[in-house]
Amino acid sequence: MAGYMKKDPAIERWVQMKADVYKHFRWTSRTSSIAIAGMIAWPAAVYWLCNREDVKWSWRGKRKGESLAA
């Protein structure tokens, strides 16, 4: 069986800080730009790419041997 483990105060402070990070959060220009990129720019880029690929091919009413290019 394992014995008593000596706790490191620095690690305990770090763990507590990670648990309470929402209490000390502030909006800065860096966090704002990351939030905008993550919530607006990234989904918009994915939507644009998917939409571009969707209109590239026409699957409707194609027969064997016909080209799928729209």
pLDDT in tens, the chain (70 residues): 667 888 999 999 999 999 999 998 999 999 999 999 999 999 999 999 999 888 777 777 777 888 877 6
pTM exceeds 0.85: no
Handedness of CA 30, 36, 37, 39 (dihedral sign): positive
Distance CA 46, CA 54 (A): 12
DSSP track, 22-37: GGS----HHHHHHHHI
